[in-house]
Amino acid sequence: MTGDASTLRERICTLGKSLFDRRFVVGGAGNISVRLDDGRILVTPTGSNFGRLQPDEISEIDADGNLLAGKKPSKELTFHRALFRARSEAGAVVHLHSTYLTALSCRRDLDHENALRPFTPYYVMRVGSLPVSPYRRPGDPRIADDLEALARHSDARAFLLASHGPVVLGKTLEEAVDNMEELEETAKLFFLLRGEEIRWLTDDQISELRR
């Protein structure tokens, strides 16, 4: 992702606080990472609160996973690195415990190929589909293997960790955040429409949007 490390640290903090202020994330949950052009990764520190992020505390990791600067990185750094390996075009990863997507992740009847059947065009255009990764305890290194496999075998730009929350990709940090917001709004609409007759998008309509 283009941009110097100092600027990207500031952008992580600014967008993290925006997500916190709008209740997309609470407490010390969630993590954000950005891949630099030389393979280094900037990632939010373990247990950090998005409302109080400081640029000099953002963890800087080399291509081999070693800490270069900042605080101890998120324990979920492993799956961020796995997604960057799987998707050369990805410049940022956002993982939240946002309300509606986390609620969705706790349902027993999820279609693991796509947890949200398309009913709005922007969901298809920004995210594509929402494959589900099996439940693992937070920090379990197998999450990285699960997500890397899903990322290599689908073109989805988002994944749902069962009973945990969403993980969203973007070419830039801003795109990843925008994709996350669109996905959370889609999940909110899904729950608001429970009991209603939803007009699902047809296969032809979905194909047109993908093109």
Q: Give the strand order in the sheet containing 41-43.
A: 67-69, 59-61, 41-43, 31-35, 92-95, 165-170, 158-161, 132-133
Instruction: Tell me the two tokens of residue 114.
Output: 């796509």
Q: How confident is the model at residue 2 (pLDDT cuts 50, 70, 90)?
A: low
User: For residue 111, is pLDDT > 70?
Assistant: yes
Read off the pLDDT of each residue in 53-81 and give the average, rounded to a whole number.
96
Q: H or E element: which one contains 29?
A: none
Instruction: Estimate the crossing angle of helix 142-152 against helix 77-86, to 10 degrees.
Output: 20
Average pLDDT, the chain: 96
Report which DSSP code applies to 56.
G
pLDDT at 145: 98
Extended strands (E) in the chain: 31-35, 41-43, 59-61, 67-69, 92-95, 132-133, 158-161, 165-170
Would you say 187 and 115 are in contact if contact means Cβ atoms under 8 Å apart?
no
Identity of the residue numbered 112:
H
For the stretch 122-170, pLDDT in tens is 999 999 999 999 999 998 999 999 999 999 999 999 999 999 999 999 9
- Return d(Cα 176, Cα 153) in angstroms, integer: 20
Q: Which fold has domain 5-210?
A: L-fuculose-1-phosphate Aldolase (3.40.225)
pTM, whole model, 2 decimals? 0.96
Q: Give Cα 121 distance to the centre of its chain.
A: 20
pLDDT at 127: 96
User: For residue 192, is pLDDT > 80?
Assistant: yes
Q: How confident is the model at residue 206 (pLDDT cuts 50, 70, 90)?
A: very high
Residue percentage of the chain with pLDDT more than 70: 99
pLDDT at 1: 64
For the stretch 25-65, pLDDT in tens is 999 999 999 999 999 999 999 999 999 999 999 999 999 99
Residue percentage of the chain with pLDDT more than 90: 97
How is the chain split into domains, by residue range?
A: 5-210
Report which DSSP code applies to 52.
G
Residues with a catalytic annotation lie at 76, 122
Q: Which residue has the tokens 């950005």?
A: 34
